Chains A and B, each alone.
Chain A
Amino acid sequence: MSYTSLQPIPQRHWWRLRVGPDEKIWITAAYAWCLVMLVWMVGWFFLGNQNQVGNAYRVTIDGFTAKMDQMVEKYQLKDASGSLMSEGDNDIPVVQVPVGGNVFIAARQFEFPVIPVLELGKTYVFHLSSQDVDHGFSLLPINVNLQLLPGYDYVLRFTPNKTGVYRLTCNEYCGLGHHTMTGKLYVIDTANKIVLDGKGGITGGGA
């Protein structure tokens, strides 16, 4: 009465054979770990501070882009000489909305069209979307990666906990210029005089 996994099983009622203790130990341990992960994941949702669930709404590309344009119109920063601040060859506007305000980013081939300025420790409502194809929102160096889809407004509240110059890179292939698609974000702390230096960085407060 011999067989391997390559031959039919001769014994009838093989499903009644008892399971050995090694298998029982392992299945119990593995299953217990799965439950721990479940509890932890749900627990983090309610108690942790990093959850990318947010809300999402269907929007029209034009409507969403118009909101971003309005934001830029209203909140684009001016430098010491009074001219509007922007960076890069394609003049990406530097924008600072009031604390708690809405930040709209409608990514497009191949740019993130605004450079937001945020205050340390304050919460902002980000609206992430795309004007054309799927893009990736990869916030560096903290390595937070979100998916941007045209027609969807991905709403997340961000509360930066460190001042600095942050970078964005697109990490969803979006066409032949994908590797040129970068962006930028400032986190300043006006109360402690950590502010924009006007040259693409921040200054003050020992930073």
Chain B
Amino acid sequence: MATIMATLRNPQDFTTCPDTGLNINKPVANLVKIHILTAVMMLLAGGILGLGVALTRWPAVHLLPSEWFYIFLTGHGAAVLLFWVHIFSVGIAYFFVTTPINARLATPKIAWLSYWLMLIGAAIATVMVLLGQATVMFSAYPPLKAHPLFYLGVILFAVGALVPAFLVLATLVKAKNERTFKGSMPLTTFGVLIWAIIAIFTWVMGAVIMIPTWLWSMGLIANIDPQLYRVIFWALAHSTQQMNIVLHITIWYTLAAVLFGARPLNEKVSRTAFVLYLFALQLGSVHHLLSDPGTSFTWRTFNTSYAAYLAVLGSLIHGLTVPGGIELAQRRRGLTHGLFEWLRKAPWDNPIFSGFFLSLILFGFIGGISGVTMSNQQINMTVHNTFYVPAHFHGTVATGTTLAFIAFSYWIVPLVTRRKLAYPGLAKMSTWIFGLGMGTFALFGMAAGHLGVPRRHWDITYADAALPFDFSAMAHMIMTVAEIGAVIGGFGALFYIISILSTLLGGKVLAKGALPALAEPAGLVAARMHGGTEPQHKGLEVPGSLVLCMVLLVFLIVYYFAQYKYLATIWGIS
């Protein structure tokens, strides 16, 4: 490794991990710790609110009264989708933009400023929600109106989240000037660069829509056009999903590297796949508006084809190259038997690996297939705003992003704290329980959506409705299974929270040179793995991964046409 790492400039600003040889900028270590700690608290809060929601939508339990249900649901959406995901993201972005290239973070003070802005913004918004002053869901579509402080909290949070994007850029410039590394920047740093560019677009959109809405809530602006709001809101909210994807894919590549010494099959392909996300940027967000009045056929088609497919293509490419990188490394290590020996003999009892690989599979098969299908114009009207929608995005943002974050925590927290992971037994169970629970929620939730069960709804028995009716026994049963899955998933999240919080707050400090538990074989084994091997990937070397991908494609194709087959049987609509 020494051959390619430039000598460390300013070594006093770094600690070197005796296990991995990674150099960690001291202020970054603290920032990573505080961001993960805060994010995990948000997940705890959001998880409790989510449990309340799940236990209410479980028909036989129906826990909360209606008003609290909607308060919990708004709080859950904000706490996990905004606060947990983005605070965690910012923390690890600081890691990815420094450690792999031996850089120091530009202006850590401003990073702390951003942290406090996010925290204060999140606190204000959460308090307003819990006080019942902002029961408008995280999407807050006007003319539904919340207390002005709710919008102010969201704005502060967005500004706080915007700052790190510029810090990423500044750090790269500084590293370039200080020549902290030779050659081209690592793939993971490149991933975070893309994340930062998308983040700038995203949070600027946030300002464009939230500031006028805030003014409107105080009566300073007369009117917010409901359709325009939805267009700009989704330019913001869809792009945040794009940020999540970029970052969790960066995590996938990282964990493939630290567990297997893997690298992309081809740098050009993997980087291009990242760049595709940039081209697809806000245009792809139109898939949220396919059943809205104010969008034309041409606009929808352009945005759901050209734009969406670029992003879809990007994800499909990573879908091959991430497992492909592992397969290649494993095969070179001698696990060449059959199509899947490389996968069977992977460290399945290591939560870093199980979380990572489950996230890859569930994101692709559940989140990916449902997402691509529902972004087709006509199919969209058979699922829009049904339970299918939350089911789909728990497939992406819960079993995809969140599970990747969970797996990554088990690696990075011991790394930056030099503490032994606490409760490794809970950690080992957490990835499976969270993945399988949330996966069940997503799959059965999709089924409920196909039956028309609405999202964000307190009572599908319509006991208080003027024109009462009820869903079939089948629909109630499917909802029951889905919500049991959600509750189980909640326990997985809880195990994770216990393990990580205990590590952060009171884990046993590792002796110098001791390997952090569970990170075995976390050493950057690249030297061993790839030493002397030809860098170029030739021939058909990753047949197993290719087969996995083809299976996904076949599922997608069958499911897709099944939807159109159903569509052909219903009323004419034009």
Which residues of A come within 8 Å of B, CB atoms? 1-12, 14-15, 17-23, 25-27, 29-31, 33-34, 37-38, 40-42, 44-45, 48-54, 56, 87-90, 92, 111, 115, 123, 128, 132-134, 136, 138, 140-154, 156-162, 167, 169-176, 178-184
Contact = CB atoms under 8 A, between A and B. Distances in A.
Listed residue (A15, A149, A170) with the most chain B CB atoms within 10 angstroms of its CB:
A149
Contact of B539 (A20, A148, A184): A20
B308 to A, nearest CB: 9
17 contacts: A14-B535, A20-B265, A22-B324, A26-B316, A34-B312, A49-B572, A50-B381, A50-B567, A50-B570, A53-B574, A54-B574, A136-B384, A138-B385, A143-B386, A149-B230, A161-B570, A182-B465
Given A22-B265, A51-B378, A179 B458 contact: yes
A152 B293 contact: yes
A170 to B, nearest CB: 7
B56 to A, nearest CB: 11
Given A6-B524, A19-B269, A172-B385, 14 more contacts: A12-B183, A18-B536, A23-B265, A50-B567, A51-B574, A53-B296, A53-B377, A136-B385, A144-B570, A146-B381, A157-B573, A169-B454, A179-B465, A180-B462
Given A19-B266, A145-B291, A52 B381 contact: yes
A2 B535 CA distance: 8
B226 interface: yes
B177 interface: no
A9 B469 contact: no
Interface string B286-299: 00011111111100
Given A38-B305, A161-B570, A6 B454 contact: no
Contact of A182 (B468, B536, B553): B468
Contact of B3 (A1, A143, A181): A1
B259 to A, nearest CB: 10
Contacts of B257: 4-6
Interface string B278-315: 00000000000111111111001100110001001100
Q: Which 4 A-B pairs have the closest CB atoms?
A: A159-B572, A171-B454, A154-B293, A4-B257
Given A5-B262, A25-B546, A45 B292 contact: no
Contacts of A149: 226-227, 230, 292-294
A143 B452 contact: yes
Contacts of A145: 291, 381-386, 452
Contacts of B537: 17, 20, 23
Contacts of A172: 141, 385, 456
Given A20-B537, A141-B452, A5 B381 contact: no
B452 A179 contact: no
Which of B265, B456, B549, B556 is packed against the most chain A CB atoms within 10 Å?
B456
Contacts of B462: 169, 179-180, 182
A134 B567 contact: no
Interface stretch (B30-38, B164-172, B184-192, B427-435): B184-192
B526 interface: yes
Given A4-B524, A26-B546, A176-B70, A160 B571 contact: yes
A159 to B, nearest CB: 3
A132 B22 CA distance: 57
B385 A143 contact: no
B455 interface: yes
B100 interface: yes
Interface in B363-381: 372, 376-378, 380-381
Contacts of B135: 176
Contacts of B181: 8
A132 B309 CA distance: 36
B546 A22 contact: yes
B350 interface: no
Contacts of B256: 5
A22 to B, nearest CB: 5
A5 B266 contact: no
B534 to A, nearest CB: 10
Given A14-B267, A136-B385, A143-B386, A157 B574 contact: yes
Contacts of A20: 265-266, 537-542
Contact of A41 (B268, B376, B529, B539): B376
B309 A143 contact: no
B19 interface: no
Contacts of B556: 33
Nearest to A140: B452
Given A4-B263, A17-B535, A142-B570, A176 B564 contact: no
B264 interface: yes
Contact of B572 (A31, A38, A115, A123): A123
A6 B186 contact: yes
B216 interface: no
Given A1-B535, A19-B269, A152-B294, A8 B185 contact: yes
Nearest to B290: A52
B5 A53 contact: no
B338 interface: no
A163 B529 CA distance: 68
Which of B184, B301, B324, B382 has most chain A Cβ within 10 Å? B184
A66 to B, nearest CB: 19
Contact of B226 (A3, A53, A151, A162): A151
